[in-house]
Amino acid sequence: MGDLVLDRLGWAYIGLDVAWTVALICGMGFLYYHCELPCIRIRRLPILFLGIIPLHIYGFVCVIGYVLGALVPCQAMFWIMSIYLPFGIAMFQTANSQFLHVASRQKQFAHLSLHSDQAPLKQEEAERLSSSHWRRILHGVDRADKIENMIVYIFIGLAVQLAITFIVFFGSKKFHPSYGLWDWNTRPSAPELVGMECSKGWEWWLSIAWQFFWAWIYAPYMLFKSRGINDVHGWRLQTICCCIVGLPASPMWLAGLYAPGMAPVNMYFIPPMWFSGTQTSLNLRSREAFHVVLLFTNPRLVCIFFMELITIGFPIFEIFRTHKLRQETLDTIAAWEKRQEFASPTGTNLSSDCSTKQSTANSSKSFPIKEAHSASRKSIDSQRSDLYTMAGLENALRTNAVPLLQFAALRDFSGENISFLTHLADWRRTWLHLTVSNAQHSRQQFIAAVSIYAHFVSPSISEFPINISHANMAALRDLFEEAASRIFRKRSIASSYSPTPFEEVSPDSGSTVGLRSGISLDVLGRANLNSVPNMTRGGYEDALTAHPIPEAFKETVFDAAEKEIKYLVLTNTWPKFINDAYSSSQADSGEVKERQDQNWTKKTILCASSNENFVVPLSHDPRLIPARLHTFILTHRNAMEKNLAEQPSLGGRPARNASIRKPLACGLILLGAVSFFSHSYVSDFVTRPRPSGAPISSARCPQASRLVPSKSTKELHEAWEYLNSDAFFNKSIEHLSGAVKIPTQSYDDMGEVGVDPRWDVFHSFASYLEETFPLVYKTLDVEKVNTHGLLFTWKGTDAALKPTVLMAHQDVVPVPDSTVNQWTHPPFSGHWDGKFVWGRGSSDCKNQLLGILEAVDTLINAGFQPRRTLVLSFGFDEEISGMQGANNLAKKLIKRYGHGGAAIIVDEGAANFEGWGANWAIPGVGEKGYVDVIVTVRMPGGHSSIPPAHNGIGVAAELISRIEANPYEPLLDESNPYLSLLYCGAEHAPEFPKTLKHLLKKRARQTCSKKGHKDELALEAAKAGPEIKYLFTTSQAVDLINGGVKTNALPERTTFTINHRVNIGSSVDAVLVHMAQLFTPLAKKHNLTLNAFNNVTETPSSITLTTRPEHLEPAPVTPTGPGTPFSILSGTTRALYGEDLYVAPGLMTANTDTRYYWGLSDHIFRYSMGWDREQEGLGRIHTVDEKIGGKAHSDVSKWVFGFVRNMDEADL
């Protein structure tokens, strides 16, 4: 043992080691910082880091071998070279194997794309779904990660080698001369060669075998297997370089040990560079130069250095390339948006790489190849920018996703994104085609959604989980993780493809599921069995019968994730696909010719190559092109399957790039043409939500036909005539007038029911109802919930049908004594002047409550017996948040019918109105959120004769001024129903503003996130006035303020309350963050502590922000597509009021009792059914002179009469 050698050369080695290590750490940190990028996620950084850290430590020690000198004994060298170095090499090659593993596993997505059927699910096929079908669909998700298996096998092998090394070490006399069993036959010729001689002998054979296996057997194997892979990440090149640079190390090390000519070199640089401290006759300068030369020519060190440089450098380069590509794509889209107009371009030829001039139908002359390519290239640049847009991407996904899916899986290694989008689209189609909705179908939909989650989202189950935000991931995990854990085995998504180092098993092309059964509810009908989940024993039965469906589960659960993935594909995979297709189309030669197909009468374009044919018919009607192209794709599926089959397996022949590039190029150009000519050009990703799977049409606001009950009797016909008679009209007015006379006022400070005597007036109102509608009380089951809540149940004959729920509330807003004299007629007189009923509650909403009961009473008198149960739920404290009334009523109904147990809920809400030259009904399908922020300013008191510059009230005033100076920006989120109303107005209203129409068109062309930009459409729409503005703007209003107790005393505590109505697309948390940021500068200015929503008790000299406990997030938006209850409501409304009334989704700025019913149904509407065209406004609700027209009130009963019967006949 000797001392450290710390001369100039030694310090140089130390400096080199430190610089090398710091650079490596910085590179690893940079990769970790960008770990969410797709090109980095697929590399699995933990495996990558584990592959280079052991080798770096080995190289680190090698570099300072000169410094260590003789400090490292032969025994240590033996152990490190026998155990540590082989382990490091094995882990490095394991990291390289991730490339083959990902390529192999991604190939399943391309294979599945050719065994898919995108036809909509037919109802009879949905009804044939059985548990046996599901057992096949949910078969075998057993993902045993092969990379992890490799690590396990490495450790097993390492344990075996450790045992052998242990025996050799203690049994060899080389290391233990006193008790060793084997002689050391080789004797050192000189003391300075002890280290060299230590490295010789049979004791090292096992280490040499390990090194040769990984460097000279496994590395060439990987080179062989990777020859057919052509990825766009440079990952294959990285793997090849790593394999090649590792080849010289072991042979050169052996040469250094055993070649006599290496003896002079070894005196100063023994192969591992651990023993070089022996002094020689060389002077210091010569020795330093000799060491430096040897350092940079030593094969093992050079190999390790380049291995690390390649392993870290290639991904870093790819990160910069990804950012550049994304920015170029966004710049291209932005430039395109500036050039284009919303209208579909006219006069544009359907030109592409497969283009031709249109001639007469009888012409058979071939179009010259050179001319075709010349014509196509002229149109490429103009069409290429169009294809970069979200519209181009969505047309590709909608019309033929196979080329994009193949490219994503085989070259970009992101097949899970495209597969997720296509499977999600299939799943959504089933919601439309399952016209008969029952518990079994709902559960099948849920299990199908769980399958999507397990395959593409769950980090614990999916092999390639999609890259979505933590918030969206958490939301989906809360919904599905428990069910997925019960149904699927953890970390168990499997495929038949075996990754390196095991031989790959070729997929069975015939192993497909339900090729002719439509999409089927499994959502994986386009998958083969080898990639479908494996259920635990009894998992399917357990899932279908035992696992509850979460309350929040609905058709839109994946919407946020879909938006993120679409944007990711748009800025990552899609531009690569376009660029590759265009470069391929320009590089490859093709033959363009015309032919007349016997099955088509239209002329066709034939884009041909030696291996494949792609045909699409030309049509003068551009709307037919997508359907025709889809027909062609299905017709030529066998040809595309052949193309995929010709792609080599990872161990097959080299890929013929042209065989895949030409189909990709032709498919892309055709899709580009579709984008130009199709009325569906505008991306539905940036339009309002529509029912998934609905046919894409230029009409953004389809109107339901008038819906009249088909089943009628003489009695029902007479009942309808009675509802339209003067006798009913007069009786209805009398009923409403009597109800208004009962002052059922609810106050903010009401105590508990049974304690506060102000509740007692509701006893009188209940008695009035029972006296007025004795037949209703006799026929329906009547329950009183929390004393005053009224729950009527008219049981239907078919228990399988979900009930209809109609709502209203009994209470009214109080009338302040100071305003009584301002009323034209006394507020509780119920005065009828021949046109209006006057009084508090006449339009909010005793009219609706009475109208519902009158309609039910009329139905009973007509002998009507419902199939579908009808529930009437009347709360009594809606005006003060509904906590004691609607809250308890909803709980009772949810307990009785279960989550999602009601088919539809209709409560009070928006009224019909005239606007933009048309008549509109806008039933509310959503509500804004609600939060009250209480601000408390604490400042020192004192005598007002010696005031400070700012006291508590002054600071509060400054805070209020800052609030009002910083209102929320208008923002029309894609899910906001008002956006749908604008589209309806643009389509149907003759006086719709041209500026809004232009901005709608511009918005429809928007293809990427505009976060941080002002919403031009919202700003323009807001000019219509505050009533419109706050349909898509978070409102803030300081409603309460209190401070000071005496005129000559400074206020020590000042409070004010800010009421917020939270916009759709925002959240309560966003409001709280906004408030905290708004007040921070003022708190610093006045040297006050800001306690913002941190549950800290008020402190002296502070500003404290708190919220009331009853805050509420924006309500879920009700779906409004065809086949949903919205169509029943719309058809009923248009049947009563005429087809010149357009029905569009609406939004409530205030909150109704429905806030407690979210769990009972996904189909909640807030709608005032009555309409008097001569009455303007909302009947002055909540203010002086509240009133309602007699016709509007009587029409409520007519609407309910028809709606109950229409719902009774609907299969929902």
Residue range 752-791, pLDDT digits in tens? 999 999 999 999 999 999 999 999 999 999 999 999 999 9
Q: How many degrees, rounded to 5, is the angle at CA 95 between CA 92 and CA 96?
A: 90
Phi, psi of 701 (to 5 degrees): -135, 65
Indicate whether 101 and 12 sit together in one domain.
yes
CB-neighbour burial class of residue 852 (10 A; exposed 0-12, middle 13-18, buried 19+)? buried
Q: Is 891 among the domain residues? A: yes
979 and 1025 belong to one structural domain: yes
Count up the domains in the chain and report the number: 5
**Residue 903: pLDDT over 50:** yes
Which residues are 784's β-sheet partners?
A: 790
Per the structure block, which two tokens stand in for 397? 């996904």
What is the C-alpha to C-alpha distance for residues 210 and 157, in angstroms, rounded to an integer? 10
Mean pLDDT of 448-465: 85
Q: What is the CATH number of the domain that holds 853?
A: 3.40.630.10
Work out the average pLDDT over 45-72.
73
For CA atoms 306, 311, 314, 316, the dihedral sign is negative
Q: Is the peptide bond before 845 cis (omega within 30 degrees of 0)?
A: yes
pLDDT score of 381: 53
Tokens at 403, concatenated: 């080329």
Establish if 112 belongs to a structural domain: no
Give yes or no for a contact between 126 and 445, defined as CB atoms under 8 angstroms apart.
no
Alpha carbon distance 870, 108 (integer Å): 50
Asked if the structure places residue 889 within a domain, the reply is yes
**Pick from 853, 851, 987, 921: nearest CA to 1131:** 921
Read off φ and ψ for residue 549, nearest 5 degrees.
-85, 125
Q: Which of the two residues, 142 and 436, has the higher pLDDT score?
A: 436
Comparison of pLDDT for 845 and 628, the residue scoring more: 845
Note whether 283 and 214 are same-domain residues: yes
User: Distance between CA 1199 and CA 1194 in Å, rounded?
Assistant: 9
pLDDT in tens, 28-38: 999 888 887 88
Range picked from 446-455, 616-625, 735-744 for highest mean pLDDT: 735-744
Query: Are both 51 and 176 inside the same structural domain?
Result: yes
Q: What is the DSSP letter of 282?
A: S
- Cα 1139 from Cα 702, distance rounded (Å): 12
123 falls within a domain:
no
pLDDT over 70 at 1120, yes or no: yes
At residue 41 the predicted structure's pLDDT band, cuts being 50, 70 and 90, is: confident
Euclidean distance between CA atoms 757 and 561, whole angstroms: 51
Q: How confident is the model at residue 13 (pLDDT cuts 50, 70, 90)?
A: confident
Mean pLDDT of 961-986: 95
As a whole number of angstroms, the distance between CA 683 and CA 238 comes to 38
- The CA distance from 582 to 566, in Å, is 22
Q: Which two tokens stand for residue 94?
A: 């394991």
The CA distance from 15 to 5, in Å, is 14
Contact 1182, 813 (CB under 8 A): yes
Average pLDDT, the chain: 75
Question: Domain ends where: 669, 698, 727?
Answer: 698
Residue 674 has pLDDT above 90, yes or no: no
Please give the helix or strand (H or E) that residue 604 lies within, else none: strand 604-608
Q: Are 494 and 141 in contact (CB under 8 A)?
A: yes
Residue 1105 reports pLDDT greater than 70: yes
Report phi then psi at 5, rounded to 5.
-100, 105
704 in a structural domain: no
Give me the domain span that covers residue 581: 350-414+572-698
- Calculate mean pLDDT across residues 1100-1109: 94
Q: Are residues 958 and 1065 in the same domain?
A: yes
Share of the chain above pLDDT 70, in %: 67
> Within this chain, do residues 599 and 545 fall inside the same structural domain, yes or no?
no
Helix (H) or strand (E) holding 15: helix 8-33
Closest of 247, 238, 253 to residue 213, by C-alpha:
247
Residue 109: is its pLDDT beyond 70?
A: yes
Residue ending a domain, choose from 1058, 1078, 1107: 1107
Of residues 733 and 191, more confidently modeled: 733
Condensed to tens digits (0 to 9), the pLDDT of residues 991-1049 reads: 999 999 999 988 877 655 555 578 999 999 999 999 999 999 999 999 999 999 999 99
Q: How much is the pLDDT for 380?
A: 46
Q: Which residues contact 814 (CB under 8 A, 6 or more apart)?
A: 745, 746, 747
Taking only the tens place, the pLDDT of each residue in 697-754 is 346 899 999 999 999 999 999 999 999 999 999 999 999 999 999 999 999 999 999 9
Q: How many other C-beta atoms are found inside a 10 Å radius of the C-beta of residue 364?
A: 10
Of 513, 544, 564, at which residue does a domain stop?
564
Q: With contact defined as beta carbons under 8 Å apart, do 552 and 479 qualify?
A: yes
Nearest to 859 by CA among 919, 804, 896: 804
pLDDT at residue 713, rounded to an integer: 94
Helix runs in 537-692, H state only: 539-545, 559-571, 573-587, 625-635, 637-646, 657-677
Residue with more model confidence, 216 or 621? 216
Phi-psi region of 453 (alpha: psi -120 to 50; beta: other; left: phi over 0): alpha
For residue 1184 the two structure tokens come to 């002086």
Q: Which residue has the higher pLDDT, 68 or 1206?
A: 1206
Does 522 share its domain with 406? Answer: no
| pLDDT (average), residues 1167-1186 | 84
C-alpha to C-alpha distance for 376 and 646, rounded to whole angstroms: 28
Structure tokens at 163: 């045992």
> What average pLDDT does the segment 119-141 reach?
36
In the prediction, which pLDDT does 277 show?
35
- The pLDDT assigned to 1174 comes to 76
Fill in the amino acid letter for 928. K
Is pLDDT of 265 > 70? no
Domain for residue 131, yes or no?
no
Question: What's the pLDDT at 178?
Answer: 64
Any domain includes 380: yes
pLDDT tens across 512-563, in order? Answer: 222 222 333 333 333 333 333 333 334 444 544 556 788 788 888 888 899 8
CB neighbour list of residue 978: distance below 8 Å, 6 or more residues apart: 972, 1021, 1028, 1031, 1032, 1146, 1147
Residue 339 in any domain: the answer is no
Please list the residues that pair with 1167 across neighbouring strands.
Answer: 910
Query: 3-state DSSP helix/strand/coil percent for the chain, to nearest 5?
Result: 50, 10, 40
Query: Cis ω on the peptide bond leading into residue 501 (within 30° of 0)?
Result: yes
For position 492, what pLDDT does the model report? 40
The maximal CA–CA distance of the chain, rounded, in angstroms, is 128
Closest CA to 298 of 252, 234, 331: 252
Per-residue CA distances from 823 to 745, 811, 815, 1185 (Å):
17, 20, 10, 5
For residues 325 and 462, give the distance between their C-alpha atoms in angstroms, rounded to a whole number. 28
Please report which confidence band the pLDDT of residue 48 belongs to, taking 50, 70 and 90 as the band edges.
confident
Cα separation of 826 and 592, whole Å? Answer: 85
Asked whether residue 692 carries a pLDDT value surpassing 60, the answer given is no
Measured CA distances, 211 to 84, 150, 1094 (Å):
11, 16, 59
Report which of 693, 674, 670, 692 is spatially closest to residue 682, judged by C-alpha positions: 674
Domain with residue 1028: its CATH number is 3.30.70.360
Do 953 and 969 reside in the same domain of the chain? yes
CB 202 within 8 A of CB 111: no
Classify residue 774 by burial, with Cβ atoms within 10 Å: 0-12, 13-18, 19+: exposed
To 5 degrees, how large is the angle CA 1115–CA 1119–CA 1121? 160
- Are residue 193 and residue 166 in the same domain, yes or no? yes
Tokens of 880: 């003060």
Q: Which residues are catalytic?
A: 811, 878
Measured over the CA atoms of residue 455, residue 461, residue 463 and residue 469, the dihedral's sign is positive
Q: Using a pLDDT cut of 90, give the percent of the chain over it.
A: 38
Instruction: Report the chain's terminal Cα–Cα distance, integer Å.
Output: 87
Specify whether 981 is located in the same domain as 832. no
- In this prediction, residue 386 carries a pLDDT of 60
The residue type of 785 is: V
Domain identity same for 98 and 13: yes
Shared domain check, 579 and 466: no
Question: Under a CB-based contact definition with an 8 Å cutoff, are residues 223 and 215 in contact?
Answer: no
CA distance 223 to 241: 10
For 323, other C-beta atoms within 10 Å of its C-beta total 12
